[in-house]
Amino acid sequence: MTEIAFSVKKNKDHSLLFYSYSTPVAAYCAESGEYLRTKEWFSVTTSRHLNKWLGDNEYREVDQEFLDLLGQFRQPLFEAGAKS
């Protein structure tokens, strides 16, 4: 089985960032209850995992730069699925 480097990081404000390797491609903002997804297309695999993570939730598409900024300014409490 091939390991895929996707992770979800939970921040102190309980927001979630969904990463493809080191790039944040989606987020859940706890304060607004809103899901965000990048407008940028990366690959079939990233799209498949992203769609699975978002599920049936409504989301708003945002510029990749916005998600990059979220990733820079949010300090994770943990990484789901991270190896110890």
Task: Report yes or no on whether pTM surpasses 0.85.
Answer: no
Q: How far apart are CA 12 and CA 1, in angstroms?
A: 33
Residue 74 pLDDT level (bands cut at 50, 70, 90): low
The string of pLDDT tens digits covering residues 50-65 is: 999 899 999 999 999 9
What is the model's pLDDT at position 65? 95
**Range 41-49 contact pairs with CB under 8 angstroms and sequence separation of 24 or more:** 45/4, 46/20, 49/4, 49/6, 49/20
Residue 59 confidence (pLDDT): 96
Mean pLDDT (the chain, rounded): 77
Domain extent listing, the chain: 6-80
Residue 3, pLDDT > 70, answer no
DSSP assigned state of 40: S
The pLDDT of residue 77 is 44
